């Protein structure tokens, strides 16, 4: 999964170019507005991070449901901007279990019970037969509680196992960076760009005791 690699820095302040480490700094005040192009339609949301020069400290991720975001100044300094897309996926997940200590010899099959935090309901029991593992198809970002119980020929059932709790991961695109030579200002100027948040002075007033 790839972005159309264009990152747009949209700033309301006067542009003051400062060349540093082969990148041009965009001087920002208390916030910066970012936008990006993406031709994909299956993106669940986007993640934006700011990577501070020298220290490499990452601020974020800042989630964005659209292709623009306003980020408040996290700290003074110079920052690379990175964006990636997040996509839901369906993952195969194999669960395994052991027969109960008592009555295992008369068990003729097992049922898998699945509850999720989206519907907040248990799905109909899945009769998997007389096996000790089963593959479920689980969706990213949903938390599942999975239990297993056995049953006998006369219809009686064993106790339910303790739950397996799992939340499958999302899929992530590659990062789109403001240093990819495809970043541009709102004015259309292409290049390698970093956001520069100047050190802010105290607001005062100063009180002398």
Per-residue pLDDT of 104-118, as tens digits, reads: 889 999 999 999 998
Mean of pLDDT values over 164-173: 92
Domain 7-87+171-197 CATH class label: mainly beta
Query: Are the folds of 7-87+171-197 and 90-166 the same?
Result: yes
Torsion angle (degrees, nearest 10) of CA 168, 174, 179, 182: -130
Q: Is the pTM of this model over 0.75?
A: no
Residue with tokens 């110079």, as numbered in its chain:
78
- The gap from C-alpha 42 to its chain's centroid, in whole angstroms, comes to 14
- CATH code of the domain made up of 90-166: 2.60.40.10
d(CA 60, CA 71): 10
- The secondary structure element, H or E, covering residue 71 is strand 68-72
d(CA 154, CA 176): 60
Token code pair at residue 162: 């303790």
Residue with tokens 């993406």, as numbered in its chain:
38
pLDDT at residue 184 in the model: 81
Band of pLDDT at residue 191, cut at 50, 70 and 90: confident
The answer, yes or no, to whether residue 208 has pLDDT greater than 60, is: yes
Question: What are the domain boundaries of the chain?
Answer: 7-87+171-197, 90-166
- The secondary structure element, H or E, covering residue 171 is strand 171-172
pLDDT at residue 7 in the model: 52
More confident residue, 100 or 135: 135
Mean of pLDDT values over 163-178: 91
pLDDT at residue 198 in the model: 76
Q: What is the 3-state secondary structure (H, E, C) of 74-110?
A: CCCEEEEEEEEEEECCEEEEEEECCCCCCCHHHEEEE
């Amino acid at each position: 999964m790839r972005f159309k690699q264009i990152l747009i820095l949209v700033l309301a302040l006067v542009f003051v170019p400062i060349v540093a480490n082969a990148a041009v700094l965009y001087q920002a005040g208390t916030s910066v507005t970012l936008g990006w192009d993406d031709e994909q339609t299956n993106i669940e949301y986007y993640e934006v991070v700011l990577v501070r020069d020298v220290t490499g400290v990452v601020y974020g991720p800042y989630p964005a449901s659209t292709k623009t975001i306003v980020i408040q100044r996290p700290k003074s300094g110079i920052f690379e901007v990175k964006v990636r897309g997040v996509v839901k996926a369906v993952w195969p997940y194999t669960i395994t279990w052991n027969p109960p200590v008592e009555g295992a010899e008369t068990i003729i099959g097992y049922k898998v019970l699945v509850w999720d935090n989206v519907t907040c309901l248990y799905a109909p029991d899945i009769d998997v037969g007389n096996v000790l593992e089963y593959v479920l198809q689980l969706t990213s970002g949903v938390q599942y509680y999975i239990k297993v119980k056995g049953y006998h020929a006369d219809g009686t059932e064993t106790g339910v196992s303790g739950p397996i709790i799992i939340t499958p991961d999302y899929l992530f695109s590659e990062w789109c960076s403001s240093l990819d030579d495809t970043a541009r200002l709102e004015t259309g100027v292409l290049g390698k760009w970093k956001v520069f948040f100047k050190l802010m002075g105290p607001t005062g007033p100063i009180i002398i005791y």
